[in-house]
């Protein structure tokens, strides 16, 4: 095998997030963009020892699990990579990738943890509450386009006016914006020449309130009257309601959305979203989970892992707009959040006040530096870092607190696996972990991980024989986790707390008055699919909770 050689092979497995492995002539070739089971033709691009990297040229044979993609922009658009894979197969793939990474991370420390599988997204389509569309052209010197970067390209942009991971309002706003500036022949910003005007279109929409915030991001290289664009948006027949239309200036050389000044063209520069009974004010650039309904599952999972925090001080590090901190506040003595984005900290403070929470404190700054300024010592730490994980020096300071338990929420499992090595070396052990699919059709996934401090001198191995235990009470009161484990083992299905509650209620097993009720009157709750209800029913029979 040599560089530039054209080869054929079958993708044997897919490492996170989309690195396919092909074995040829004793070498492992890594290719991006394929699926397990596909036979592909590829070009060898790099050779490093016994490994190589290649680029897929053609799919010769489809994988057995593949289906016909429903999105018309696939595979040109680089936003989604699993459009040709059924959703159930996506869940299996992601859960398998994360478990493999976690297993590898704990292997050298020789202990067992409980992997609880993956929770599916309440919405498989139209789930995103935020999109950053780019201006450009799909072919060199072609007509203006507005959408996502073409797969494998840094410059070409595909107009995604039929994108399915956002709702119709996003598509209407995109189309109206593109039509308006196409008619005016307004130039887009060309990254190589650093010339042009139009850069990005940022759209955010709240699922619960229906409020929409739109921001046009441009350079300052020319003056434009944007009143016509604003009026075009205001006349659109939207399902939601426009809370604000903004003009953001950005002269950064990097291809990022940067706020060098924002002008309000209509309404206000924020909107409100509701999660878990709390209300949040969200500004254009503050961090907020992009799947609102999925975020509720993520944070409910986190809350169930944390348990009782009475009289405890919690640190919420990398706190964003303070969602987790405010979720912890009702059950903790005090919560201190640290976030580097000042705009997000301002929003977090306002959100806490809005929700009547007086025991939340938010500090703006880098975690690495801010920890040196906090006199109080935490009893519990929540970590929700950006994709690259935690800076090694900051992680050492976090470890030095010596708290009994930590919760790590990760949007990139490879970063989590890396940080786990340092945490475990310091005496922490992973008790349990669960994935939450916040990003259907993409390769991304969230992972919640509970860690506890191992006291080596107090750690004793105890073996308890099941025939020595009185199982009567356990059979009658199986926990949700026991039911989930039984269903997963006997049917291969992952079921949520919501689905278990719905099935229990069907058989007259009474839940708490407000358990798993929707947070607003007009919210839609997903209903338990028949195959999952059947599997849960079998579990209830097994545990003696029903007798039919």
Write out the catalytic residue numbers: 411
Q: For the residues of 467-481, what is the DSSP string, one character each? A: GGS--HHHHHS--HH
446-453 and 428-436 strand pairing: antiparallel
Nearest to 535 by CA among 510, 498, 500, 508: 500
Task: Find the helix packing angle between 168-183 and 227-234, rounded to 10°.
Answer: 150
**CA 173 – CA 160 distance, rounded (Å):** 11
Contact indicator for 128, 290 with CB cutoff of 8 Å: yes
- DSSP, collapsed to helix, strand or coil, labels residue 457 as coil
**CA 291 – CA 305 distance, rounded (Å):** 21
Count of other CB atoms within 10 angstroms of residue 531: 10
Contact indicator for 72, 52 with CB cutoff of 8 Å: no
DSSP 8-state secondary structure symbol assigned to residue 8: E
Residue located via tokens 């919760």: 407
**CA 20 – CA 157 distance, rounded (Å):** 25
- Tokens linked to 334: 């005090």
**Alpha carbon 98 to chain centroid distance?**
14
DSSP 8-state secondary structure symbol assigned to residue 221: S
Count of other CB atoms within 10 angstroms of residue 154: 9
Contact indicator for 77, 151 with CB cutoff of 8 Å: yes
Contact indicator for 383, 408 with CB cutoff of 8 Å: yes
Length of the chain: 548
């Amino acid at each position: 095998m040599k560089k530039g050689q054209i080869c054929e092979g079958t993708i044997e497995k897919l490492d996170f997030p989309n690195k396919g492995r092909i074995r040829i002539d004793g070498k492992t070739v890594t290719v991006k963009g394929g699926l397990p089971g596909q036979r592909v033709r590829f070009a060898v691009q790099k050779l490093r020892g016994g490994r190589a990297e290649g680029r897929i040229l053609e799919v010769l044979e489809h994988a057995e699990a593949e289906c016909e993609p429903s999105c018309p922009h696939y595979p040109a658009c680089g936003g989604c990579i699993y459009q040709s894979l059924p959703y159930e197969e996506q869940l299996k793939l992601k859960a398998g990738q994360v478990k493999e990474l976690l297993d590898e991370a704990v292997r050298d420390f020789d202990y067992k943890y409980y992997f609880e599988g993956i929770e599916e997204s309440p919405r498989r389509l139209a789930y995103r509450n935020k999109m950053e569309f780019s201006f450009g052209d799909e072919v060199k010197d072609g007509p203006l386009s507005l959408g996502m970067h073409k797969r494998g390209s840094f410059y070409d942009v595909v107009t995604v006016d039929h994108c399915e991971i956002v709702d119709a309002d996003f598509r209407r706003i995109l189309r109206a914006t593109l039509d308006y500036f196409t008619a005016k022949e307004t130039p887009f910003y060309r990254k190589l020449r650093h010339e042009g005007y139009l850069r990005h279109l940022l759209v955010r929409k709240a699922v619960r309130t229906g409020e929409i915030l739109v921001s046009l991001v441009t350079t300052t290289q020319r003056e434009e009257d944007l009143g016509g664009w604003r009026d075009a948006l205001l006349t659109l027949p939207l399902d939601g309601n426009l809370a604000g239309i903004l003009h953001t200036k950005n002269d950064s050389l990097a291809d990022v959305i940067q706020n060098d000044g924002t002008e309000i063209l209509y309404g206000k520069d924020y909107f409100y979203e509701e999660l878990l009974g709390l209300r949040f004010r969200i500004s254009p650039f503050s961090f907020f989970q992009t799947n609102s309904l999925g975020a509720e599952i993520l944070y409910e999972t986190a809350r169930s892992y944390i348990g009782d925090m009475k009289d405890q001080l919690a640190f919420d590090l990398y706190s964003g707009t303070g969602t987790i901190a405010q979720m912890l506040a009702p059950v903790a003595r005090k919560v201190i959040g640290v976030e580097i984005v000042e705009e997000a900290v301002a929003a977090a403070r306002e959100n806490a006040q809005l929700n009547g929470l007086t025991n939340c404190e938010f500090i703006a700054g880098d975690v690495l530096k801010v920890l040196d300024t906090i006199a109080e010592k935490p009893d519990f730490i929540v970590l929700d870092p950006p994709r690259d994980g935690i800076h090694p020096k900051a992680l050492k300071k976090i470890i030095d607190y010596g708290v009994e338990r930590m919760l790590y929420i990760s949007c990139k499992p490879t970063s989590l696996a890396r940080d786990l090595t340092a945490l475990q070396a310091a005496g922490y052990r992973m008790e349990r972990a669960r994935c939450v699919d916040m990003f259907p059709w993409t390769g991304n996934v969230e992972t919640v991980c509970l860690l506890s401090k191992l006291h080596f001198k107090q750690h004793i191995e105890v073996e308890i024989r099941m025939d020595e235990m009185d199982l009567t009470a356990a059979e009658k009161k199986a926990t949700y986790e026991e039911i989930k484990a039984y269903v997963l083992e006997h049917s291969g299905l992952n079921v949520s707390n919501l689905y278990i509650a719905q099935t229990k209620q069907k058989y007259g097993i009474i839940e708490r008055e407000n358990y798993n009720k929707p947070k607003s009157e007009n919210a839609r709750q997903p209903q338990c699919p028949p195959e999952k209800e059947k599997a849960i029913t079998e579990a209830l029979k097994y545990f003696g909770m029903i007798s039919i």
